[in-house]
């Protein structure tokens, strides 16, 4: 009697990674590994890295865009992939694949422009070697996106890698950078990437952010070939701030103790274990489900950046704890998630509306609601929950079933 061949645990792990990781995050990891393998034959560092002398004096401005593609060491590749899988997946679920790709490009380009500017300032101040400094590799993307993810995670603290030290979440990126400096020394490009990430969180890059309507146009235009790729999340199907809720986190958020993808149990070793759970917001606080970390509403407008709680300005609205103050502009940090009990259901309904399964907030008749309740009761659903779902879905039984399954 023949026996089945033994399963390959590495292949199973990779298949789980593919199945649970959004498209852009997954493609970025593939690109990092591919560039590292390519560097065994041809090192692209000097061709792509942002060296101000070549970028400006030789008009090689393409370096501002392609510097993240510079090759990295083996240890850097391992660390970045283990950490970026969790960070990228959460942000991509929140804003959609096109929005996340745009975010990475915006943060990377801004970091490179700031690097060139500072190097030339140092050059004119007498440091002639400054314009020959180099800015490159995927580290600048990871550092800046990590800031955005940390400030939107809703956590109070995060463990610093394998050390038993709890770091306030808004200082975690700085603490991680300081730890890296102990091993590799001062890295101005990575420090600038952190600064750009914080600038984005505080709304300083709002002028160069595309609107949700523009992202939708891109998905219908030159990015249409990506829309049907496995794991691609359209702008209308993004979860907004609710991406950080456990029900929307199949791959394992860095605050979890492990997940099926590569970024699960491994990321917990590098600071991914949540130490203090997020608390629900005060009664009456608004829901942030309709926005993403761009601070936009799902309908394409410039929606509110967070919930409409009337609590003190020094609180992160919706998180239930104080992390040290409001933004310099007097508002709150952008894209902080809330834990309203209905937020998951509302987000699911909005995603269904974005896909055309629900035409809008039509008010159903009481007769259609009663008929729908009877139908759902015959399928084994609780009458009260069925009625609530039908009222939110406009009387659509199929959508009501989707909502019931999402709660």
Map out the domains of the chain as residue ranges.
9-272, 357-405
pLDDT of residue 345: 53
Are the folds of 9-272 and 357-405 the same? no
Q: Which residue do the tokens 């498209």 mark? A: 23
Q: Rounded distance, CA 87 to CA 129, Å? A: 35
User: Which among 244, 188, 236, 193 is positioned nearest to 215, based on CA atoms?
Assistant: 236
CATH fold of the domain at 357-405: Helicase, Ruva Protein; domain 3 (1.10.8)
pLDDT of residue 60: 92
* Sign of the Cα pseudo-torsion (303, 309, 315, 320, in order): negative
- What percent of the chain is predicted at pLDDT more than 70? 67
Average pLDDT over residues 196-215: 90
Cα first-last separation, the chain: 46
pLDDT of residue 248: 54
User: Which among 264, 271, 272, 285 is positioned nearest to 342, based on CA atoms?
Assistant: 285
Q: Express each pLDDT in 2-39 by its tens digit.
A: 566 777 888 888 888 888 899 999 999 999 999 999 99
Q: Rounded distance, CA 361 to CA 349, Å? A: 10
Q: What CA–CA distances, in Å, run from 30 to 35, 123, 140, 293? A: 9, 37, 17, 25
User: Which among 206, 218, 229, 244 is positioned nearest to 98, based on CA atoms?
Assistant: 218
CATH fold of the domain at 9-272: Rhomboid-like fold (1.20.1540)
Q: Rounded distance, CA 241 to CA 91, Å? A: 9
Q: Which residue do the tokens 């995050």 mark? A: 25
């Amino acid at each position: 009697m023949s026996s089945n061949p033994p399963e390959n645990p590495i292949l199973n792990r990779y298949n789980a990674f593919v199945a649970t990781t959004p498209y852009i995050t997954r493609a970025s990891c593939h690109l990092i590994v591919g560039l590292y393998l390519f560097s065994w034959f041809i090192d692209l560092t000097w061709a792509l890295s942002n060296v101000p002398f070549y970028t400006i004096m030789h008009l090689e401005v393409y370096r501002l865009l392609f510097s993240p593609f510079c090759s990295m060491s083996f240890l850097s590749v391992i660390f970045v992939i283990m950490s970026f899988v969790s960070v990228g997946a959460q942000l991509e679920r929140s804003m959609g694949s096109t929005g996340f790709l745009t975010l990475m490009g915006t943060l990377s380009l801004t970091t490179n422009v700031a690097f060139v500017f500072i190097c030339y300032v140092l050059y004119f101040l007498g440091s002639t070697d400054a314009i020959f400094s180099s800015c490159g590799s995927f580290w600048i993307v990871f550092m800046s996106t990590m800031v955005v993810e940390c400030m939107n995670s809703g956590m109070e603290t995060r463990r610093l890698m394998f050390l038993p030290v709890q770091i306030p979440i808004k200082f975690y990126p700085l603490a991680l950078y300081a730890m890296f400096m102990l091993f590799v020394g001062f890295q101005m490009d990575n420090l600038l990437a952190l600064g750009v990430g914080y600038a984005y969180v505080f709304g300083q890059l709002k002028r160069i952010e595309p609107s949700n309507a523009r992202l939708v146009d891109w998905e219908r235009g030159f990015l249409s070939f990506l829309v049907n790729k496995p794991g691609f999340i359209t702008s209308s199907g993004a979860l907004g701030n609710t991406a950080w809720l456990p029900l929307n986190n199949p791959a394992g958020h860095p605050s979890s103790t492990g997940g099926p993808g590569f970024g699960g149990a491994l990321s917990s070793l590098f600071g991914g274990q949540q130490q203090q759970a997020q608390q629900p917001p005060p009664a009456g606080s608004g829901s942030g489900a309709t926005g993403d970390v761009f601070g936009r509403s799902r309908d394409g407008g410039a929606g509110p950046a967070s919930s409409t709680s009337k609590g003190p300005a020094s609180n992160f609205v919706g998180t239930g704890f104080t992390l040290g103050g409001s933004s310099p502009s007097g508002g709150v940090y952008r894209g902080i998630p809330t834990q309203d009990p209905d937020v998951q259901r509302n987000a699911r309904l909005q995603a269904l509306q974005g896909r055309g399964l629900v035409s809008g907030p039509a008010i159903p008749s009481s007769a259609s609601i009663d008929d729908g309740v009877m139908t759902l009761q015959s399928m084994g659903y609780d009458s009260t929950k069925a009625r609530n779902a039908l009222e939110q879905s406009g009387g659509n039984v199929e959508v009501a079933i989707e909502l019931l399954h999402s709660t």
